Amino acid sequence: MGASGKTGSKEPGLRYPANGKTIFHRPLNRSKTSELSQASFAYLFSEMVSYAQKRVTGIQDLEKRLNLQGHPIGLKLLDLLLIREPVRSQARPLNIIALLHFIKGNLWTHLFGRQADRLEKSSNPETPDEYMIIDNEPLVNAYVSVPKEMSQLNCAAFVAGIVEGVCDGAAFPARVTAHTVGGKEEGEMWPGKTVFLVKFQPEVLEREALIGDRKS
């Protein structure tokens, strides 16, 4: 940052756009014209999937790549959504339930225009740290057809990456994976139903217990 000696001229190697407006001049609040067509997103997403597919050999790796692509988006969305809320209601999520409601409501509405369908806690006593977000029809899978030999693949791993980014950013480290539960039989209402399994690390649960004790 050694530009303090220069008198007002632009630094060498740093280019400014022609009309002088940097990204700092753009407004953060969403305007009506900033919506994107689903077709362009589907095109980009199909390219992302084939880009990842060329470089990996297995389904797990493919899902991992998509997950990694979504992770930084989640980190940025956390702050962006917080700043777009009206000032009175700006609050950081302090416990798991608040965080999951934020994801189910704000995040899903921002990404897909609707809330996630269901939020559940795992009823298995051996894994109290697992929560599930259920989406009947993930938007990203709308134009993706999975061949029979890769039937375990779910491209919503990308959205799982976004959710993982949000959780990690809010200091609730977690592993998020996407699983297809829609059956193939006739009469199934939502064949593409996807469950996002959110598994928090043990220190998150420890902290929840400590905070709970302190409050009561």
Q: Is 214 in the site for another protein (CB under 8 A)?
A: yes
Residue type, 180: T
**Whether 156 contacts 95, CB under 8 Å:** no
Q: Is 18 in the site for another protein (CB under 8 A)?
A: no
Q: CB-wise, 42 or 94, nearer to another protein? A: 94
Q: Measured over all CA atoms, what is the biggest interatomic distance in the chain, rounded to whole angstroms?
A: 73
Alpha-carbon dihedral 21, 38, 146, 61, rounded to 10 degrees: 20
Select the residue interacting with another protein from 18, 23, 36, 39 (CB under 8 A). Answer: 23
Q: Is 101 in the site for another protein (CB under 8 A)?
A: no
Of all residues in the chain, what percent are helix, strand and coil, respectively (each to 5)?
50, 10, 40
d(CA 107, CA 110): 5
Q: CB-wise, 3 or 181, nearer to another protein? A: 3
Select the residue interacting with another protein from 43, 58, 72, 97 (CB under 8 A). Answer: 72
Select the residue interacting with another protein from 41, 137, 169, 179 (CB under 8 A). Answer: 169
Q: Is 11 in the site for another protein (CB under 8 A)?
A: yes
Alpha helix (H) residue ranges in 3-154: 38-55, 59-84, 96-102, 108-112
| Least Cβ distance, residue 177 to another protein (angstroms) | 21
Q: Which residues here bind another protein, judged by CB under 8 A? A: 1, 3, 11, 14, 22-24, 26, 28, 72, 75-76, 78-83, 90-94, 98, 169-171, 207, 211, 214
